[in-house]
């Protein structure tokens, strides 16, 4: 915790001079900072959840990242459909206008990388994105060619973050990523897993390898990572990206059959999506959650979860108890 | 794949229902003329098989050879592969099935004229593929523009093929050889495999018609196993 506090202080010089509310002070105590990012929507109307964007520092550098990013699994895999591609570009436009930065993809996600590259060029944000991608091939020798093809599809000069997808061939890929980082062709490296798989191996890699990021599945009902992986990542100074925050929509579908509790307004939630996201990103070890969506309204709602009050530990337990009882 | 037992079928689904159905909409719009030509060819085969025309089996084999190769190329390779990396393998499977039907046409396809249920099911499946399958999506609330039709989309092409497999066989001029028997059995492999893959895909997409392909495959196998063939006089 001490490390995170120090890094938060490094990461948020722009916050000096802010009149900090009690809640923001609480946020700082958990490693958060707030950034005065855009608070206007696509056509000049206020973006969802007006207020300062909550960010978290990447432990290895102190660089601040908004706590909500954008995933691309399924939602951006639209092939060559021109209408759907334009729709994805609008989702990205709304994402940036609401203060988002990190977009995550993988060569495994079909056409998603090309759709992201196309959309970024269309909205003129290729240089603004925090580009997070993966290497997904069992052969270490084929990793560099796949990474280069991914970079070409994104249209970026270099990736900010490259992760070994689902630990596939990690022993061979991590040295490649380290060499890229040393040569200045990559800023951060990491590993990913999903749906609670291979957590023992993730723990072992976290202990033995120098990593900047680890990506895992975590949400208000899948909480196993709270026991070991999140504390370990925190202790090792590794940033945590959370995938599948809505269980690919299944969790939200289930929750939407129930009314949002009135007390959710205390932490500024305007719906279940924000309720679930605020629970995730308020964990002290979590750096960023990456919900995927193909809807402009939903991406604004998701980014709204990165603004306003955040739940403290007691509120988090209340939230989890409430969902478990539904 | 480690911890394989933790994977569900839905973990392999990498596209949304919208993206999948849009593939057919864009294909139908781009290849509208081809769509009508394919339907006309399918209708001609149905009439020929129903009326026991002399060259019905050859016509069926030629049309199916072209249909499988076309679906493999135009749908799987050019379109489906943009949202599903496994579709490149599907394209190869469809090309192999097309080649097998071409061999069937060259090697002496015959109408085997089963009696009773097998004949009814064979003709019925072909009719479903041509006329009913494109309507299913509309009945389920999808637009006409996304209709899946014979020779353009894999599912109706497979349904028609299952029907053909009950009505057509490779007989040639001489007595059945081991090669011809093997070809007759091999022709079933890709359509039945697609019944499983196509059914699983629709099931993970929560499509209500997901049961259709597996049910048609099972019925066709049952009918083939129990059919009594009446060979045409030479």
Q: For B14-35, what is each residue's pLDDT tens digit?
A: 999 999 999 999 999 999 999 9
Q: Are B3 and A248 in contact (CB < 8 Å)?
A: no
Q: CATH number of the domain that A97 lies in?
A: 3.20.20.100
Q: Has residue A311 been placed in a domain?
A: yes
Q: Has residue A211 been placed in a domain?
A: yes
d(CA B78, nearest CA chain A) in Å: 10
- Edge-first strand order for the sheet with A159-164 is A102-104, A130-135, A159-164, A186-192, A213-217, A239-243, A288-289
Q: Which residues of A touch B3 (CB under 8 A)?
A: 197-198
Contact B113, B122 (CB under 8 A): no
Which parts of A82-175 are beta strand (E)?
102-104, 130-135, 159-164
Confidence of residue B230 (pLDDT cuts 50, 70, 90): low
- Say what the pLDDT of residue A249 is: 85
Confidence of residue B171 (pLDDT cuts 50, 70, 90): low
d(CA B22, nearest CA chain A) in Å: 8
Contacts with B5 (C-beta within 8 Å, 6 or more apart), sequence order: none
| B223 backbone dihedrals φ, ψ, rounded to 5° | -65, -40
Contacts with A57 (C-beta within 8 Å, 6 or more apart), sequence order: A4, A7, A8, A10, A11, A12, A31, A33, A63, A64, A65, A287
What is the interface pTM, i.e. ipTM, of the complex?
A: 0.86
Confidence of residue B181 (pLDDT cuts 50, 70, 90): confident
DSSP 8-class letter at B10:
G
Contact A165, A137 (CB under 8 A): no
d(CA A301, nearest CA chain B) in Å: 21
Question: Which of A77, A197, A248 faces B6 most closely, judged by CB atoms?
Answer: A197
Chain A within 8 Å of B226 (Cβ-Cβ)?
no
Residue with tokens 């915790």: A1
Confidence of residue B183 (pLDDT cuts 50, 70, 90): confident
Contacts with B9 (C-beta within 8 Å, 6 or more apart), sequence order: B200, B203, B204
Distance CA A124, CA A129 (A): 10
Q: Does an H or E element contain A241, and which?
A: strand A239-243
Position with higher pLDDT, A37 vs B151: B151
Q: Has residue A53 been placed in a domain?
A: yes
Position with higher pLDDT, A181 vs B13: A181
CB atoms within 10 A of CB A25: 9
Give the residues of chain A that fall short of pLDDT 50.
1-30, 36-49
Average pLDDT on B128-137 reads 93
Q: Report chain B's C-alpha Rg in angstroms.
A: 18
Contact A126, A98 (CB under 8 A): no
Q: Has residue A6 been placed in a domain?
A: no
Contact A64, A76 (CB under 8 A): no
d(CA A169, nearest CA chain B) in Å: 11
Q: Which residues of A touch B2 (CB under 8 A)?
A: 197-198
- Which of B12, B82, B205 should we substitute to test contact with A (largest number of A Cβ atoms within 10 Å)? B82
Name the residue range of residue A226's domain.
21-325
Question: Which of B6, B10, B23 faces A79 most closely, judged by CB atoms?
Answer: B23
Average pLDDT on B127-142 reads 93
Q: Has residue A250 been placed in a domain?
A: yes
d(CA A27, nearest CA chain B) in Å: 35
Among left, alpha and beta (phi > 0; psi -120 to 50; other), residue B206 is left
d(CA B99, nearest CA chain A) in Å: 28
- Say what the pLDDT of residue A148 is: 97
Residues 77-96, chain B, touching A (beta carbon < 8 A): 79, 82-85
- Regarding beta strands A159-164 and A33-35, do their DSSP bridges make them parallel or antiparallel, or are they unpaired? unpaired
Q: What angle do CA A30, A33, A36 make, to 5 degrees?
A: 155
Alpha-carbon distance values, B73 to B30, B153, B164, B191, B199 (Å): 15, 11, 22, 16, 21
Average pLDDT on B115-143 reads 91
Q: Has residue A14 been placed in a domain?
A: no
Distance CA B191, CA B168 (A): 15
Q: Has residue A9 been placed in a domain?
A: no
Chain B within 8 Å of A78 (Cβ-Cβ)?
yes
- Say what the pLDDT of residue A48 is: 41
Q: Does an H or E element contain A37, and which?
A: none
Q: Has residue A54 been placed in a domain?
A: yes
- Say what the pLDDT of residue A32 is: 58
Residue of chain B nearest A82, judged by CA positions: B26
What angle separates helix B56-70 from helix B87-106, to the nearest 10 degrees? 160
Chain centre to alpha carbon of residue A18: 25
- Say what the pLDDT of residue A321 is: 92
Q: What is the pLDDT of residues A48-65, one digit of tens each?
A: 445 688 999 999 999 999
Chain A within 8 Å of B26 (Cβ-Cβ)?
yes
Contact B5, A66 (CB under 8 A): no
Chain B within 8 Å of A108 (Cβ-Cβ)?
yes
Q: Which residues of B touch A108 (CB under 8 A)?
A: 14, 85
* Number of domains observed in the structure of chain A: 1
pTM greater than 0.80:
yes
Question: Which of B14, B26, B79 faces A74 most closely, judged by CB atoms?
Answer: B14
DSSP 8-class letter at A62:
-
Average pLDDT on B205-218 reads 94
Contacts with A222 (C-beta within 8 Å, 6 or more apart), sequence order: A196, A244, A247
Distance CA B95, CA B99 (A): 6
């Amino acid at each position: 915790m001490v490390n995170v506090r120090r890094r938060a202080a490094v990461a948020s010089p722009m916050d000096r001079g802010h009149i900090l509310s009690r809640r923001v002070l609480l946020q700082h105590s958990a490693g958060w900072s707030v950034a005065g990012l855009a608070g206007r929507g696509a056509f000049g109307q206020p973006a969802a959840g007006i207020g300062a964007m909550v960010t978290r520092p990447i432990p290895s550098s102190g660089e601040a990242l908004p706590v909500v990013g954008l995933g691309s699994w399924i939602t951006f895999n639209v092939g060559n459909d021109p209408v759907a591609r334009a729709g994805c570009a609008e989702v990205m436009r709304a994402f940036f206008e609401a203060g988002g930065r990190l977009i995550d993809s993988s060569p495994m996600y079909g056409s998603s990388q090309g759709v992201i590259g196309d959309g970024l060029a269309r909205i003129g944000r290729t240089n603004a994105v925090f580009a997070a991608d993966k290497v997904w091939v069992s052969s270490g020798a084929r990793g560099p060619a796949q990474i280069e093809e991914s970079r070409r599809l994104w249209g970026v000069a270099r990736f900010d973050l490259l992760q070994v997808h689902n630990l596939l061939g990690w022993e061979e890929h991590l040295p490649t990523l380290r060499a890229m980082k040393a040569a200045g062709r990559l800023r951060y490296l990491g590993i990913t897993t999903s749906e609670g798989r291979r957590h023992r191996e993730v723990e072992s890699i976290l202990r033995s390898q120098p990593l900047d990021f680890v990506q895992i599945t975590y949400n208000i009902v899948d909480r196993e990572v709270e026991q070991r992986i999140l504390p370990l990542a925190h202790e090792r100074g590794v940033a945590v990206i959370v995938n599948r925050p809505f269980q690919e929509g299944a969790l939200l579908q289930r929750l939407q059959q129930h009314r949002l509790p009135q007390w959710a307004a205390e932490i500024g939630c305007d719906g279940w999506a924000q309720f679930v996201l605020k629970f995730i990103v308020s964990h002290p070890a979590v750096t960023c959650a990456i919900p995927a969506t193909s809807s402009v309204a939903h991406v604004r709602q998701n980014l709204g979860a990165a603004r306003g009050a955040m739940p403290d530990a007691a509120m988090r337990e209340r939230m989890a108890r409430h969902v478990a009882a539904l | 794949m480690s911890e394989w037992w933790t994977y569900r079928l839905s973990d392999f689904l990498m596209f949304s229902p919208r993206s999948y159905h849009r593939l057919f909409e864009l294909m139908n719009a781009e290849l509208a003329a081809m769509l009508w030509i394919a339907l006309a060819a399918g209708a001609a085969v149905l009439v020929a098989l129903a009326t026991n025309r002399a060259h019905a089996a050859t016509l069926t084999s030629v049309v199916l050879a072209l249909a499988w190769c076309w679906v493999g190329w135009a749908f799987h390779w050019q379109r489906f592969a943009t949202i599903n990396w496994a579709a490149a393998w599907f394209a190869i499977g469809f090309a192999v099935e097309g080649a097998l039907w071409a061999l069937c046409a060259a090697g002496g396809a015959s109408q085997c004229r089963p009696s009773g249920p097998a004949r009814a099911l064979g003709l019925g499946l072909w009719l479903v593929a041509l006329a009913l399958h494109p309507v299913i999506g509309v009945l389920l609330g999808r637009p006409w523009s996304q209709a899946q039709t014979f020779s353009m989309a894999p599912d109706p092409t497979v349904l028609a093929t299952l029907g053909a497999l009950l009505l057509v066989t490779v007989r040639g001029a001489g007595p059945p050889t081991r090669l011809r028997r093997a070809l007759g059995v091999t022709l079933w492999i890709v359509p039945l495999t697609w019944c499983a893959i196509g059914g699983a895909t629709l099931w993970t997409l929560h499509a209500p018609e997901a049961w259709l392909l597996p049910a048609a495959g099972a019925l066709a196998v049952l009918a083939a196993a129990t059919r009594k063939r009446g060979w045409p006089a030479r």
